[in-house]
């Protein structure tokens, strides 16, 4: 081992960790910069340093992003979620209905889309249960993390660590093998959440609820003849407690039902008149069996799955001002349909086609996704902007996505395919069947995560005995500190990974500590698998900070959480899983 190589490699690692904690630069850029320094200094050859970019684990993660996007775009799991939630009668029952299905789903899906699907559902559901969202959303994030510990494909972190085993000529874990330790950790974690959430979680409004949205619309939605909502009461259909929106009246064959009772049952072709803000209109768009009541929507050139909601402010040079929307032939002129109008922040009553447009009116449009780009610099509108996440789901293809997900699991378990093979096939099927469009597939891949993983693998290669030997140097220090005891060394490896994953990111922590774990096992002369599994579980189990794991960050705003909430609620959970994992791992993978 060259002293210079060891010193430089460890210096780069320490500097990268400090930079990821205190810098605004992303971990991908920081690790890539660190790897560049090691290549230029000759610590690791360039060819071996960039080998991580072709690592099967990294490619598997990329294809799993596409699979998750296909499932999200078709609503393949949202229907199941709605059925599972129901209407619980207590806080504990509500938490169980959230955590059990999400933990189960996250064992087979990437955690991020599971939380993304659940967030808008729980916003409304929390009102029905008369619970604060801050009492539900952090348990949601933690449940998805806990469920992800139970299988190899549960998180991208477990996928990458499992594939790194091949670089050390070790046999990768089977799909359910992490469950030997992940399942006890999951059970212990869920019990902890049920027992302590009322005491340790805040009861406050979300950040988004602190301000009123000035744009309020009236929108009519039609109950389609094939809608699954037919025969359900307003309450059962989830239309009673919509966040930021209320059902004003129902038009049934020309008969107006004002002040609609929650026990009123929906019929085919009912026209439901809602009043609310634009974000709630997006939620209406995603309900199965509801479409905008204007028949003009069905005359647009593009299919609904290629459209989105767009807000456009009418300019004083627009050629159709002082003209009724129907007379202006808006759809023919712009290939877009007006579904609601807001004037001076107030909703406009009456039929859409009868509204006479004035400068400054804000139009809520349904149009092809290209509308915003085409009209952004048009003199007809002051401002044109897409409404985020407003593209209708491809529910007619949900069954295909569900079959693909089941097939993915079967290929891994029954037919013993590798994760890369099965994820590649699943993603291609989803693209070819139209469950996810090619541009959506490309956009779903988080390239910063892939670069983080690849650069981390490259730095790990530099730390190996084949190059600087920095991993063995650190391992010798750790084993001597642990008195040569495998159990104490295992606890230290888990603890280091646990700290890193909360301070930087899960992927960076896993790839940086992995070579140290391997070297520690070699120094002790024992099987490396217990230490690898410790790194896998510790890196994925991030609860004490919002920055270490994406789902923790996703619920921060909607739940109104502060940094201290994660430390107070997630800190003890992190320590609990440390204890459980260190005790259980040797029972399955002995020293």
Residue at token pair 């991908």: 28
Q: Which two tokens stand for residue 177?
A: 């093998």
Mean confidence (pLDDT) of the chain: 84
Provide the β-strand partners of residue 250.
257, 272
Please tell me what DSSP assigns to residue 264: P
Per residue in 250-278, is it b (16+ CB within 10 Å) or e — as a string? Answer: bbbeeeeeeebeeebebeeebbbbbbbbb
Q: Which residues of 335-348 are buried (b: 16+ CB within 10 A; e: fewer)?
A: bbbbbbbbeeeebb
Q: What is the DSSP string of 306-330?
A: GEEEEEEEEPTT-TTTTSBTTTTTH
DSSP three-state, residue 385: strand
Burial class (CB in 10 A: 0-12, 13-18, 19+), 161: buried
Report the pLDDT value the prediction gives residue 302, as an integer from 0 to 100: 64
Helix and strand tally (H, E) in the chain?
Answer: 24, 10
For residues 552 and 565, the answer to whether their CB atoms sit within 8 Å is no
Q: What length does the chain have?
A: 591
User: What are the angstrom distances between the C-alpha of 359 and each of 88, 206, 313, 516?
Assistant: 48, 34, 8, 65
Classified as helix, coil or strand, 424 is helix
pLDDT single digits (tens) 510-546: 888 898 899 899 889 899 999 999 999 999 999 998 8
Torsion on CA atoms 383, 385, 387, 388, rounded to nearest 10: -140
DSSP secondary structure letters along 156-221: HHHHHHHHHHHHTT-PPPPTTTTHHHHHHHHHHHHHHHHHHHHHHS-----GGGGS--S-EEEEEE
Each residue's pLDDT tens digit, 89-108: 788 988 998 999 899 988 88
Tell me the average pLDDT across 109-126.
74
Q: pTM, whole model, 2 decimals? A: 0.70
pLDDT value of position 128: 66
pLDDT, tens digit (0-9, with 9 covering 90-100), for 357-387: 888 888 888 888 788 888 877 888 888 888 7
Please determine, for residue 424, whether its predicted confidence score (pLDDT) is greater than 90: yes
Mind listing the pLDDT tens digit for each residue in 147-198?
A: 999 999 888 889 888 888 877 888 889 889 999 999 999 999 999 999 999 8
pLDDT band at 325 (very low <50, low <70, confident <90, very high): confident
- So where are the chain's domains? 64-200+399-444, 212-386
Beginning with the edge strand found earlier in the chain, give each strand of the sheet holding 346-347 in spatial order. Answer: 346-347, 336-343, 362-368, 307-314, 381-386
213-254 confidence digits (pLDDT tens): 456 677 888 888 888 888 888 888 878 767 677 787 888 887
91, 131 in Cβ contact below 8 A? yes
Q: Which contiguous run of DSSP H or E holds residue 52?
A: none
| Highest CATH level, class, for 212-386 | alpha beta
Nearest to 501 by CA among 174, 181, 105, 158: 158
Q: Within 10 A of 481 (CB to CB), how many other CB atoms are there?
A: 11
């Amino acid at each position: 081992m060259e002293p210079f190589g060891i010193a430089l490699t460890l210096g780069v690692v320490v500097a990268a960790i400090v930079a990821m904690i205190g810098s605004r630069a992303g971990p991908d850029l920081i690790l890539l910069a660190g790897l560049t320094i090691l290549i230029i200094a000759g610590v690791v050859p360039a060819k071996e340093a960039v080998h991580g970019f072709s690592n099967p684990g990294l490619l598997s993660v990329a294809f799993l992003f596409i699979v998750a996007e296909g499932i999200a775009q078709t609503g393949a799991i949202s229907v199941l979620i709605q059925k599972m939630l129901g209407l619980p009668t207590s806080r504990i029952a509500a938490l169980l209905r959230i955590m059990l299905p999400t933990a189960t789903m996250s064992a087979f899906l990437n955690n991020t889309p599971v939380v993304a699907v659940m967030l808008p559902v729980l916003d409304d559901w929390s009102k029905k249960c008369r619970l604060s969202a801050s009492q539900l959303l952090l348990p949601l994030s933690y449940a998805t993390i806990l469920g992800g510990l139970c299988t190899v494909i549960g998180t991208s972190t477990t996928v990458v660590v499992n594939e790194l085993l091949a670089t050390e000529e070790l046999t990768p874990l089977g799909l359910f093998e992490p469950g030997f330790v992940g399942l006890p950790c999951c059970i212990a974690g869920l019990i902890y959440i049920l027992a302590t959430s009322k005491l340790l979680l805040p009861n406050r409004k979300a950040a988004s609820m602190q301000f009123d949205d000035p744009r309020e619309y009236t929108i009519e939605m039609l109950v389609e003849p094939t809608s699954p909502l037919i025969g359900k009461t307003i309450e059962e259909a989830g239309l009673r407690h919509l966040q930021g929106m209320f059902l004003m009246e129902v038009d049934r064959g020309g008969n107006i039902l004002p002040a609609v009772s929650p026990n009123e049952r929906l019929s085919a072709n009912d026209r439901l008149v809602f009043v609310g803000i634009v974000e709630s209109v997006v939620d209406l768009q995603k309900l199965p069996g509801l479409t905008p009541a204007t028949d003009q929507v069905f005359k647009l050139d593009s299919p609904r799955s290629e459209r989105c909601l767009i807000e456009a402010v009418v300019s004083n040079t627009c050629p159709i001002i002082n003209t009724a929307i129907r007379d202006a032939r808006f759809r023919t002129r712009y290939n877009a349909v007006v579904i609601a109008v807001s004037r001076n922040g107030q909703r406009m009553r009456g039929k859409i086609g009868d509204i006479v447009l004035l400068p400054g009116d804000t139009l809520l449009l349904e149009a092809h996704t290209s509308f915003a780009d085409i009209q952004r610099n048009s003199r007809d509108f002051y401002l044109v902007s897409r409404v985020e996440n407003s593209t209708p789901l491809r529910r007619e293809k949900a069954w295909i996505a569900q079959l693909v997900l089941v097939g993915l699991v079967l290929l891994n378990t029954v037919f013993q395919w590798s994760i890369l093979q099965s994820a590649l096939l699943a993603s291609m099927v989803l693209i070819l069947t139209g469950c996810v469009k090619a541009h959506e597939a490309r956009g779903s891949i988080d390239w910063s995560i892939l670069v983080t993983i690849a650069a981390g693998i490259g730095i790990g290669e530099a730390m190996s005995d084949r190059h600087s030997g920095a991993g063995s140097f650190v391992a010798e220090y750790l084993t001597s500190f642990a008195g040569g005891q495998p159990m104490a060394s295992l606890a230290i490896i888990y603890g280091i990974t646990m700290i890193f994953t909360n301070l930087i990111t899960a992927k960076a922590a896993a790839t940086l500590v992995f070579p140290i774990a391997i070297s520690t096992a070699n120094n002790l002369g024992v099987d490396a698998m217990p230490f690898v599994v410790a790194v896998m579980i510790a890196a994925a189990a991030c609860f004490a900070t919002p920055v270490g794991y994406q789902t923790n960050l996703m619920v921060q705003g909607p739940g109104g959480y502060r940094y201290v909430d994660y430390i107070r609620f997630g800190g003890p959970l992190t320590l609990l899983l440390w204890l459980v994992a260190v005790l259980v791992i040797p029972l399955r993978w002995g020293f």
